[in-house]
Structure 1
Amino acid sequence: MTTAPNSRVLTATSADGSRLHIEVYGSEGAPAIVLIHGWTCSTLFWAAQIDDLAADHRVIVYDQRGHGRSPAVGRHGYSTDALADDLEAVLGACLAPGEKAVLAGHSMGGMTLMAASARPALREHAAAALLCSTGSSDLVAESLVVPMRPGRLRTRLTRMILGARGPLGPVTPVSKRLLRYGTMGPGAAPDRIAVCARIVHACPRAVRVAWSHVLGTLDLDAGVRELRVPTAVVVGTADRLTPPVLARRLAGELPDCVGLTELTGVGHMTPVEAPEAVTALLRGLTGDHLGAAADETEESAA
Structure 2
Amino acid sequence: MRAKLSTALAEGFRQVSSMVETVRAAHRADLRTRSHGDAALDPPRLPYDVIPVVTADGARLRVHAYGPLDAPVIVFSHGWTCSLEYWNAQINAFAGEYRVIAYDQRGHGESTNGYAKPSTNLLADDLCDVLDAVLLPGQRAVLAGHSMGGMTLIAWAGRYPERVAEQAAAVILTNTGAHSLVEVSTMIPGLNKPLQLLRGRALPTPDWLGKLVLGTPVVLPPIKPVRWIFARQVMTLDTSRAKLDYALSVVRACPIMTRSRYGLLLTNLHLGDDAKNLCVPTTVLAGDRDDMTPRLHAERLAALLADAGSLVAFKVLPTGHLGNVERYDLFNAELNALLTAATEPARAMA
- Asked if these proteins are the same fold (TM beyond 0.5), I'd say yes
Give every structure 1 segment of 4 or more consecutive aligned residues whose post-TM-superposition deviation is greater than 6 Å: none
Q: Distance in 2 between matches of 1:100 and 1:294?
A: 13
Q: Distance in 2 between matches of 1:153 and 1:47?
A: 32
Inter-CA distance 94–295: structure 2 relative to 1 (3 Å threshold): farther
Q: Distance in 2 between matches of 1:4 and 1:58?
A: 15
Which residue identity does 2:210 align to in structure 1? T
- 1:221 paired residue number: 272
- 1:164 paired residue number: 216
Q: Distance in 2 between matches of 1:125 and 1:180?
A: 37
Does residue 98 in structure 1 map to residue 152 in structure 2? no
What is the CA distance between 1:154 and its match in structure 2? 3.7
CA-to-aligned-CA distance 1:120-144 (integer Å, 9 cap, x gap): 4443110000001000001001110
- 1:87 paired residue number: 127
- 2:105 paired residue number: 64
Q: Distance in 2 between matches of 1:29 and 1:152?
A: 48
Does residue 273 in structure 1 map to residue 290 in structure 2? no
Contact 1:127–1:229 (8 Å) recurs in 2 = yes
Does residue 10 in structure 1 map to residue 51 in structure 2? yes
- 2:182 paired residue number: 140
Higher helix share: 2
Q: Distance in 2 between matches of 1:123 and 1:30?
A: 19
Instruction: Output aligned runs, 1:9-88, within 5 Å.
Output: 9-74=50-115, 76-88=116-128
- 2:315 paired residue number: 261
Contact 1:180–1:193 (8 Å) recurs in 2 = yes
Contact 2:60–2:114 (8 Å) recurs in 1 = no
- 1:246 paired residue number: 297
Picking from 201, 205, 208, the partner of 2:252 is 201
Contact 2:185–2:205 (8 Å) recurs in 1 = no
What is the CA distance between 1:170 and its match in structure 2? 3.5
What is the CA distance between 1:218 and its match in structure 2? 0.6
Q: Distance in 2 between matches of 1:117 and 1:171?
A: 39
Partner SS for 2:51: strand
Q: Which has the larger radius of gyration?
A: 2
Contact 1:15–1:85 (8 Å) recurs in 2 = no
User: RMSD value over aligned CA atoms?
Assistant: 1.8
Q: Which moved more, 1:112-121 or 1:184-193?
A: 112-121
Does residue 176 in structure 1 map to residue 220 in structure 2? no
Q: Distance in 2 between matches of 1:52 and 1:280?
A: 10
Inter-CA distance 187–123: structure 2 relative to 1 (3 Å threshold): same
Contact 1:78–1:214 (8 Å) recurs in 2 = yes
Partner SS for 1:142: coil
Partner SS for 2:157: coil
Partner SS for 2:337: helix
Q: Distance in 1 between matches of 2:47 and 2:163?
A: 26
Runs of 5+ unmatched residues, structure 2:
1-41, 193-201
Inter-CA distance 273–144: structure 2 relative to 1 (3 Å threshold): same
Partner SS for 1:140: coil
Corresponding residue pairs, total: 294
CA-to-aligned-CA distance 1:33-62 (integer Å, 9 cap, x gap): 001100000011000110010121111000
Q: Distance in 1 between matches of 2:256 and 2:66?
A: 29
Instruction: Output aligned runs, 1:111-130, within 5 Å.
Output: 111-118=151-158, 119=160, 120-130=162-172
TM-score using structure 1 length: 0.92
Identity of aligned residues (%): 37
Contact 2:49–2:64 (8 Å) recurs in 1 = yes
